Each structure stands twice: as C-alpha cells, then as structure tokens.
Structure 1
Amino acid sequence: MTVQDIDRVDFVKQWEEWHRAKEEVLAGPHGFLAITGLHWLSPEPARFTDAPGAWSATADGVVVELAEGEELTVDGLVVHGRYAFGVLPERDSRYVGWGDAVLEVARRGGHDILRPRHPGTALRTAFRYTPAYDPDPRWAVTGRFLPFAEPRPVTVGAAVEGLEHVYDSPGQVEFELGGARHRLTAFNGSAPGGLMVLFTDSTSGVTTYAANRSLQIAPPGPDGTVILDFNRAANLPCAYTDLATCPLPPTENRLPVAVEAGERIPLERGGRP
C-alpha cells in the first residue's frame, strides 16, 4: 500500500476515532488515571487508606480480611470477612467493587499488587487530552513479520525500578524508515494473531515520552506483510502516572530515527498542547 492509495480524509477520521476511544478508556471512571495507590502485598496483612480490609499475599494467593462493617462486591456478590482470590497468573487482574471505586487485584513481575481506582482522583478529573502529532499516511509503513521457529522468552525492564517482565516473542518485524532497514522484537498483540512492539526513537524524551511507546500491529498477511502505522504509536499508562508497572522496550527496539508520529508527552508530564 502506498500513500497515494490512502483516502486521507478517511485516514484522519479513523485515527481520530481510535484516539478518542483510547482517551475514553484511559480517563474512564476506573481507568488508569483513577488509580490512587500501587500497593505491593506481602505475607504480613496491611491496611491502606484507599481500600477496605487488611490485604496479604500468601502461598495460596491474595487474601483480604474485612473488618465488621466493611464489604466488597466480587463478581456481583457482596462479601464480608475473609476472602481469598486464589493464585493469580502473571499479568492477570481481578476487579472488585467498593462503593463508587474499583479495586484491582493483580500480579506483576512475580508480585501481588493492589491498585484502587477512585473516579474522583484529581489526575482523572483534571484530564483534558493527550497531545499527538497530526496523523499523516506517510507514517503507515509496510514491513514484514519474521517469525521465530519457536517463541522466545524476552525479559524487559519496567517503569518500576527493579521490576522485570517476561514476554514470549513470536518474532520480529522488519521495515525501512529514514533510509535504513530496522528490526523490532515483537510480542503478542491485543487482537488474536496481532502483534505489539514497544519502542523508543530519537523523539523520546524530547517530544514523546522518554521511556516507551507501544504500537499494535494487525495480524500479518499470508506472505508476512504487516503495516506499522506509527500514527497510532501510543503512550502506556506510565506516561501519565507513577502508579503503573509498564514494560520497557527491549534494547534492540531503540530506533535511531525520529518517529514524529503518534502520541506525544502528556500534559501531565510537562508536554506541550
């Protein structure tokens, strides 16, 4: 596909719909901007100011002990006293209700965490929008997926110092940009058969968020063809809040070119409108 093949009006409209939908999730009543705490659970029960109960991480998984008068709603049922969530798989989350708040019980980097989400938090209520480059079809780059014979585990850092994530990589994507050929290690994407890449580039820390951006890629064609639409290079939650455990790109995913497309540094981190 070439730039000439693209209906620019429709291209911009689709980008605007994508960006609007992403913003709605981010700033939703219980989106990432509503998080008030990142609590690392230990075997010793602990209470927190933004959640009821005493929480602990045991050999049998996360457990909460609710005092008299405290309750949570789990899967539509009101619970009191002791409740065990069981052992959560890595990168899994469960969400329980508490008044107008939602409590996320999750496992990240081998650790159990509790992240309360309150709609009234200032970060959420003050949110306006995320700055972004104007969408331009020339940043929709055709590339090729190069699968590995077997998925390879790849360890990456995290926004939280000392934390690591391990993802299975099905292969790499190769493409040309800025007069040179590049390869990015890919992970499984949000859509079945799709891919996702984490990357930085020469704009990182200048006009785009320094630590990372992510790009979802539609499933490869029969010949391995993929489209990397850098207009949809997206900020991860850590671009807005320190209460996120986002993964960092693998070392080889640091592009030596300026990708002046996609989302820019959020206003909350000092970005410009």
Structure 2
Amino acid sequence: MSPTTQTAEDRWARFRAARNAALAETHGWLSLTSFHWLADRPARVGSMPGLWSADGGTASVTAQPSDGLTDLATGRPVDGTLTASLEDEDSLMWMAYGGGDGHRVVVELARRAGRYAIRTRDAEASTLARFTGNPVFDYRPDLVVEGRFEPYAEPLHEQILTSHPDVPGTHTAVGDVVFTLPGDTREHRLRASQDEAGALTVTFHDTTNGVTTAHWRKVSLRRPRPDGSVILDFNRTVNYPSAFTPYGTCPRPVDANVVDAPVEAGEKQP
C-alpha cells in the first residue's frame, strides 16, 4: 500500500505496532523491578552488588571485579569507586550485572526532586515476559476532533503530584487546548505543555479512568497551525509508565485537566 492510499486507520495500526514494540524493549519500562533512594553513606541496596550512596550533587558506587558490576559507559568491570552527576529529572543507564552476559539487570541512576535514586531494569522481569500488547479501544474516527490552541502570554508553572508519593513535580503549561467531543456541545479546555519543536502534550483525566482505563493518560498533538487550530486524535492516547509499574515517577494531570465525559479511545488499562 502506498503512503497516498493509506487510511487514517492504517496509520493508527502502524502507530500501535510501534508503540507495542517500544514497550517490549529489553530494558524498557516493563522491565522495572525496584526503586531505591540512595543514602548519604555507602550501603548495600537490595540484592544489587556494590555499595551505593549520594552526597549533594553526586552519586557513587564502589565495587570490585568479583561483584560482577559493569560500567555501561566503558564496558569494563567496576574496580573501585565511580561517580556520576545528573541534573534534576535526568536519568542515566549506569551499571549492569547478572545473567550469562553480565547485562541482564541494568541499574538506572535517576535524580528526582533533588535526590538520587536507582531503579533496576531486569530483562527477565515478569511484567515484560507476560506482555503481549497494550489493550486498546477500537479505532474511532469520530474521536479525531479539531480544536484550537489559545496560548498564554507567559508560561504557567504549577506544582503537581506524580505517581510516586515522595516525588513532587512541576507542570509548565503554555496555553489551553479547547475542543468539543462528538454528541456533546460542552467546550472542554485542557492545559498543554510544549516541546522544543512546538508539539503539544495534554495529560488528562476522563470518566473512564479506573474503570476501563488507567487513572490518567496523555495525548500528543502536532504543533498548532498558524490560525491556532489543532487536531486531537484521541485514538493515540497512551498510558504513562506508571500504568504498568509501581516504580515510575510520572506526572499526574494538573487539577484543571479533567474531561467530564468518557474518552473511549486509545489505550485501556493494562
């Protein structure tokens, strides 16, 4: 089938295939098996080899070659103490251990709310082994709706909760996405963030949450047209990693981002 003859549903099917492939990556979100804050003195963390700590803006790990810990940056066994520094909200796939190749478990270093944590990503995690694709609603052409983007004079920064009780977050909105749903004359207004390329993301609640869908979801939009119009394809609504794992630190919607109606499109609860 040539690109010119592809239907919108064909393109959505390709999007779904790519999305499921990304979720099934060996050390992707479905491989998360733990989350640990680092103490200020070197200490064992769970069943991981080595001694781990964080002091101010730096995280450290100390191990010897017999521990079987590999520095992913160099591919060499850790022999002594290694350090790393991250900006807040950044992550680093830092170390690996276990399995026949020594890379079954990847240790991710993360900095959240000014604190360092490590998460393990296990290629043999049961969540990953059981995954056969995220359930979704059938394609709904009527839930590809046109709306408009109303930019703010200045970005709006709001404190939010995340999926982790110890990790606060900040949402920066650049404007409102305004739209109506089929069969509903009410105007819905949601705050949107924007990436460097101009694309918008809306994180929202709707009345399907906790019934057929996760507790919140998100949908991405292409950058607004010159006249401010945008297309919301709710068929491309996806879950945050926290829908699959308790070890995420995903942002919750701002209080204003509630659609008081069912959005029966996109990904369902895993």
Q: TM-score, normalising length from structure 1? A: 0.88
Q: Which amino acid aligns with 1:241?
A: T
Calculate percent identity across the aligned residue pairs.
35
1:89: Cα distance to partner?
1.4
**What is the aligned counterpart of 1:51 among 48, 51, 71?**
48
Is the 1:41–1:56 Cα contact (8 Å) retained in structure 2? yes
> What SS does the aligned partner of 1:158 have?
coil
Match of 1:26 in 2: 23
Is the 1:50–1:116 Cα contact (8 Å) retained in structure 2? no
Bigger shift: residues 162-171 or 12-21: 162-171
CA offsets, 1:247-271, max 9 Å, x none? 11111101101101110011xxxxx
Match of 1:238 in 2: 242
Match of 1:85 in 2: 84
Match of 2:71 in 1: 73
Change (3 A) 1:89 1:75: same
CA offsets, 1:79-101, max 9 Å, x none? 42111102x11221111241223
> What SS does the aligned partner of 1:252 have?
coil
> What SS does the aligned partner of 2:239 have?
coil
1:42: Cα distance to partner?
2.4
Residues in 2 aligned to 1:188 and 1:46: alpha-carbon distance in whole angstroms: 40
Q: Which amino acid aligns with 2:93?
A: Y
Match of 1:3 in 2: none
> What SS does the aligned partner of 2:15 have?
helix
Change (3 A) 1:80 1:170: farther
Match of 1:180 in 2: 186
Is the 2:171–2:254 Cα contact (8 Å) retained in structure 1? no
Change (3 A) 1:232 1:50: farther
Is the 1:145–1:174 Cα contact (8 Å) retained in structure 2? yes
CA offsets, 1:167-207, max 9 Å, x none? 32212211112211111111124x72111111010111111
Is the 1:8–1:137 Cα contact (8 Å) retained in structure 2? no
Matches within 5 A, 1:3-152: 10-70=7-67, 71-78=69-76, 79-86=78-85, 88-98=86-96, 99-100=102-103, 101-152=105-156
1:108: Cα distance to partner?
2.1
1:33: Cα distance to partner?
0.9
Change (3 A) 1:51 1:223: farther
Residues in 2 aligned to 1:236 and 1:138: alpha-carbon distance in whole angstroms: 24
Match of 2:99 in 1: none
> What SS does the aligned partner of 2:259 have?
coil
Q: TM-score, normalising length from structure 2? A: 0.89
Q: Which amino acid aligns with 1:230?
A: F
1:136: Cα distance to partner?
1.6
Between Structure 1 and Structure 2, how many residues are aligned? 257
CA offsets, 1:105-163, max 9 Å, x none? 11123321111111111111111111111112211111111111121212111111242
Residues in 2 aligned to 1:175 and 1:90: alpha-carbon distance in whole angstroms: 34
1:46: Cα distance to partner?
2.7
Alignment RMSD, CA only? 1.9
Is the 1:230–1:262 Cα contact (8 Å) retained in structure 2? yes
Q: Tell me, which stretches of 5 or more residues in structure 1 are unaligned?
A: 1-6, 267-273
